[in-house]
Amino acid sequence: MSRKTIEKNLAYDTERQLYYAVFRENGQRHTRTFRTREEARAALADRSGAGGRLPARGCTLEVWLNFWLREVAARDRAASTLYAYRNMARCHVIPALGQTPLADLSPLQIQSYLYEQMDQGLSPNTVIKHGALLATALGLAVRLELLERNPMERVTLPKKREAPIRFYSPEQLQALFAAVEGSYLELPVKLAAYLGLRRSEICGLRWENVDLEAGVLSIREVRTEVGGEEVLKPPKTRTSARRLGIAGLQDLQRVLGRAWEQRRSDDPREWVVLDRNGRPPMPDKLTQDVKALVRRSHLPRISLHGLRHSFASVANSQGVPMFDISRTLGHSSMAVTSNIYTHLFDDTETHTLEVVAKAIEKG
């Protein structure tokens, strides 16, 4: 049987990869499915809302947010997004505004709240996410006629700060490769640098998706971490699911070949990247280990995701068209690639201006 009880009122189906929470209300027993254990546990902890009843018209913001998180966000948001929303609500929004009646919530209160959060040390980018949570949750209240107007429409959010993108040059990558040689980090580091893979794609890679003879690696599943719990899911977008040719990457094929020889079993569902103990590393632990190794090696600070940026930088410097870079990275469109790596592609504009200038001078 694929469904097994893992704790009280909670079961897991290994075939469907779904969690089943059992609720009992008014003598009746019913089951709801969830994509992650964290979602199921949160729903079980809030049994009063298991029936999905709408809050009363005079409810507080706390009651409304808990309803929205439980009955709306939990059904259509990614596990990581839902986890972030719940933390925002529990740790920030509800303590500050939760007791305010929903109908009395004013733009001035929300604006003051956002300023206070920044005064307490939250970044503008984080406060923008708080605004997005409130705008979406209150927007539903308007559509259900619990509010006449969304107070977020008259709130001014802080300007987003673009985080600096760190990336390595080819020479720095070579130095990093020398530092990870022979360690368990060699494979994930080279998968990120040679192929531009995301951390979740590296952690979610199984041997059934690696064909060493044909020289093809396929991204079909990702493995991430939410609240300390492992989450398995399909790639983020249709274009994120992709096939990458590795036939010409001798160094990467060598490291993959060694990992193949050291695999724990012949199960094609076995994970490709394993830690020094022969277990698939948790994504956050993998990030921490890479940062620690970079620090010990006295190399410029960079994250595992920074190696994905390094791939894009090297590809651009070698004249690879943006379209090809975008497809290899698995972005949903070239616009996404361009927006992320504008600073890398600025030299294209410089080249264009030089060509025009030379043509004018010749004329």
What pLDDT score does 131 carry? 97
Which amino acid, one-letter code, is at 27? G
What pLDDT score does 343 carry? 66
Q: Which fold has domain 170-351?
A: hpI Integrase; Chain A (1.10.443)
CA atoms within 13 A on the CB side of 141: 33
Give me the mean pLDDT over the 140-163 stretch. 93
* Strand, helix or coil for residue 210: strand
- Rounded-to-integer distance, Cα 96 and Cα 89, Å: 10
pTM of the complete model: 0.76
Residue with more model confidence, 51 or 136: 136
Percent of the chain with pLDDT over 70: 91
Give me the mean pLDDT over the 336-352 stretch. 68
Residue with more model confidence, 74 or 295: 295
What pLDDT score does 46 carry? 61
Task: Please determine whether the domains at 52-161 and 170-351 fall in the same fold group of CATH.
Answer: no
**pLDDT tens per residue across span 302-329:** 999 999 999 999 998 888 888 999 999 9
Is the pLDDT confidence value at 136 over 90? Answer: yes
Q: Are 233 and 77 in contact (CB under 8 A)?
A: no
- Rounded-to-integer distance, Cα 335 and Cα 75, Å: 29
Is the pLDDT confidence value at 50 over 60? Answer: no
**pLDDT tens per residue across span 33-47:** 777 777 777 767 665
CATH 1.10.150.130 is right for the domain spanning 52-161: yes
Is the pLDDT confidence value at 341 over 70? Answer: yes
Residue ranges covered by each domain of the chain: 1-46, 52-161, 170-351
What pLDDT score does 351 carry? 58
Give me the mean pLDDT over the 45-59 stretch. 67
- Rounded-to-integer distance, Cα 304 and Cα 118, Å: 28
Q: Are 233 and 221 in contact (CB under 8 A)?
A: yes
Tokens of 85: 């929303």
- Rounded-to-integer distance, Cα 217 and Cα 243, Å: 6
What pLDDT score does 36 carry? 76
Strand boundaries in 141-235, DSSP class E: 210-211, 216-218, 222-226, 229-233
- Which residues, in sequence order, are CB contacts of 164 under 8 Å at separation 6+? none
What pLDDT score does 345 carry? 65
**pLDDT tens per residue across span 99-133:** 999 999 999 999 999 999 999 999 999 999 999 99
What is the rounded average pLDDT for all residues in the chain? 88
What pLDDT score does 56 carry? 84
